[in-house]
């Protein structure tokens, strides 16, 4: 399975990614701002989702279409 970011770069476990769009987090009053960095990501069973730890929201699942590899 190949997991790719919004630019088509391949992601692997442990990479750092940057959010490219402001995102509202469901079930929480936090908004993730554009440019926020998510470090040490984990891959899931789906090729369009990753798990990552965000400072304000804890561990969340993010769609890869809103991320770019740094």
Provide the pLDDT for residue 54: 87
- 3-state SS record for 23-65: EECCCCCCEECCCCEECCCEECCCCCEEEEEECCCEEEEEEHH
pLDDT of residue 62: 94
Kindly give the confidence (pLDDT) of every residue in the chain, 70 residues in length, as a single tens digit, with 9 standing for 90 and above.
Answer: 789 999 999 999 999 999 999 999 888 888 999 999 999 999 999 999 999 998 878 899 999 999 999 9
pTM: 0.87
Q: What CATH number labels 3-69?
A: 2.30.30.40
Please report, for the chain, the start and end positions of each structural domain, with discontinuous segments joined by +.
Answer: 3-69
């Amino acid at each position: 399975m190949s997991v790719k970011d919004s630019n088509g770069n391949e992601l692997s476990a442990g990479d750092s990614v940057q959010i490219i769009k402001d995102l509202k987090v469901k079930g929480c009053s936090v908004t993730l701002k554009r440019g926020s960095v998510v470090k040490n990501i984990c891959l899931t069973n789906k090729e369009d989702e990753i798990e990552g730890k965000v400072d304000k929201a804890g561990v969340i699942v993010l769609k890869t279409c809103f991320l770019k590899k740094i």
